[in-house]
Amino acid sequence: MENIQTILPEKGKTEGANNAAQWLTVALLVYLLICAVGIISGGFKLFAGDHAKELFAFASNPFAGLVVGIVATALIQSSSTVTSIIVGLVAGGLPVELAVPMVMGANVGTSITNTIVSLGHVRAKEEFKRAFSAATVHDFFNLLSVLIFLPLEIAFGLLEKTGAWLAGLFYGTGDTSIKGFNFVKAATAPVVDSFKSVAHSFGDQVGGLSLIIVGIGLIFFAITLVGKLLKKLMVGKARNIMHTAIGRGPMSGIASGTLVTIFVQSSSTTTSLMIPLAGSGAFKLKDIYPFTLGANVGTCVTAVLAATAVTGNAQAALQIAFIHLVFNILAVLVIYGIPALRYLPIKASEALGNIAAENKFAALGYILGVFFVLPALCLGISSQI
Amino acid sequence: MDDLRALTRERLNKLINETQQSLVELKEEVARREHVKQENEINDLDHHMNSAELNLVALKDFIAYLVEHSKQK
């Protein structure tokens, strides 16, 4: 007994030290992520100079921008990474109006992850039907939100104006604004400036491009590793949140989806987490649906955080980060708030789940069609316009 | 139905109330069991967290399943 008593506190101390080390790593990775967005911004500014708009002329058609967002996110498997890169590019000179469809596309592209996760249930028909429906409800919601808000954006610039107003609040006059003193920017400046000074020695084109590539690599590395660490560190917290949300209605589901996503820093993780819960039949589609909507809102935090510290056109960077946030909040308010629209994603995903359970090729066709063929067609058509 | 016609109005109302009460209790029991099932699934969240990652094995397995089935047909 004496041995056990001496061993147990030692074990507790080791676990505590491990946890502390992991939290320190998370903090360092978030710091790295913010630096990386600054590096991309600096690189893009160096590379494009005053020609950022011309460089992204291919995305001047909003459908092309949307496709870039969808395909990039579907390939990288992380909307946080893609939106952080977009924030960096906007800070480096990419016009906000070109970036808006890209962040919308990032929303659609990220939903491929949980759809692929649901394919793991293919060998049990009923389980697969439930899992595939639970995965595609997120897709249909995101597609519907683009169908509603992209035309509104093209016609009125609704999101661009709202984002500009919100960013203006933070970049207003006075010492309390970010413009007065930005601690995060001051903390990341030495690292970002060091990278920039090294890149300058290679010339504008090579140096700028190298900075962009290094920045993208660092963002990808930081977000992937932070996701892995937070999954381990926050699983207990996520469990408590979900226990609290059970049986408390859709608002609680949306709030818990948002919180879990902020804690694990990945909407793909949150929505994929729902797949086995739906597959087993314990959670119905109507329970899963609000949770996935919350995931869309929670994932915007990463880009907002990164946008607080970029150099260059910092106000525009914060504007695009807020546009992503406002887009996701408005989508929830409009689609979930209007009863006629609320159940459309559920009905569509249930119908698709039934078809896919009978014919598994339909599931494969759906994934290839929505995430690759349809974007390619859009790109082809938009290039002709 | 003939039996019902023989029952008094008071007796019928009493039966309706009892049935409604039973219905409420049955629904509550179903909801309770669903919540217990959900609680149990959430308790297993560590395991689900691991499977919530994009796994190329799942994709490979899915394609193998499709090939297997198309050959059978």
Among A5-9, A242-246, A311-315, A376-380, which is the least confidently predicted range?
Answer: A5-9
The gap from C-alpha B61 to its chain's centroid, in whole angstroms, comes to 28
CA A38/CA A193 separation, integer angstroms: 9
Among A9-18, A46-55, A208-217, which is the least confidently predicted range?
Answer: A9-18
pLDDT for B34-50, tens place per residue?
A: 888 888 888 888 777 77
CA A131/CA A117 separation, integer angstroms: 9
Residue B55 forms contact with A (CB below 8 Å)? yes
Among A73-87, A157-171, A181-195, which is the least confidently predicted range?
Answer: A181-195
CA A322/CA A277 separation, integer angstroms: 32
pLDDT (mean) for A187-210: 85
Q: Are B51 and A276 in contact (CB under 8 A)?
A: yes
pLDDT (mean) for B9-22: 95
A190 vs B28: which has the higher pLDDT: B28
Determine which helix (DSSP H) or strand (DSSP E) holds A242, and give its type and residue range.
Answer: helix A204-245
CA A76/CA B22 separation, integer angstroms: 54
pLDDT (mean) for A316-344: 95
Q: Which residue of A has its CA nearest to B42?
A: A239
Could you report the predicted ipTM of this complex, rounded to two decimals?
A: 0.73
Residue B66 forms contact with A (CB below 8 Å)? yes
What does the radius of gyration of chain B's CA atoms come to, in whole angstroms?
Answer: 26
pLDDT (mean) for A76-89: 87
CA A316/CA A41 separation, integer angstroms: 12
pLDDT for residue B61 is more than 80: yes
According to the model, what pLDDT value does residue A165 have?
93
| Number of other CB atoms surrounding residue A270 within 10 Å | 29
| Domain ranges across chain A | 26-384
Q: Which residue of A has its CA nearest to B36?
A: A282
Question: Token digits for A105?
Answer: 């596309």
pLDDT (mean) for A311-317: 85
According to the model, what pLDDT value does residue A176 have?
47
* Residue to substitute from A118, A232, A239, interface B, most B β-carbons within 10 A: A239
CA A301/CA A154 separation, integer angstroms: 25
pTM for this entry: 0.83
Nearest CB partner across the interface for A282, out of B38, B45, B69: B38
As a whole number, the mean pLDDT across chain A is 86
A171 vs A109: which has the higher pLDDT: A109
- A174 Ramachandran zone, left/alpha/beta (phi>0; psi -120 to 50): left
Residue A8 forms contact with B (CB below 8 Å)? no
Q: Using alpha carbons only, what angle is made at residue A23 by residues B47 and A232, rounded to the nearest 5 degrees? A: 0
pLDDT for A17-56, tens place per residue?
A: 777 888 899 889 988 988 888 888 888 888 877 777 777 7
Nearest CB partner across the interface for A120, out of B34, B61, B70: B61
pLDDT for A237-275, tens place per residue?
A: 888 888 888 778 889 999 999 999 988 888 888 898 889
Q: Length of chain B in residues, anyone?
A: 73
How many C-alpha atoms does A309 have within 13 Å on its Cβ side?
Answer: 27
Q: Are A233 and A23 in contact (CB under 8 A)?
A: yes
Asked whether the beta carbons of residue B62 and residue A119 sit closer than 8 angstroms, the reply is yes
pLDDT-derived band at A9, boundaries 50, 70, 90: low
Q: Which residue of B has its CA nearest to A237?
A: B45
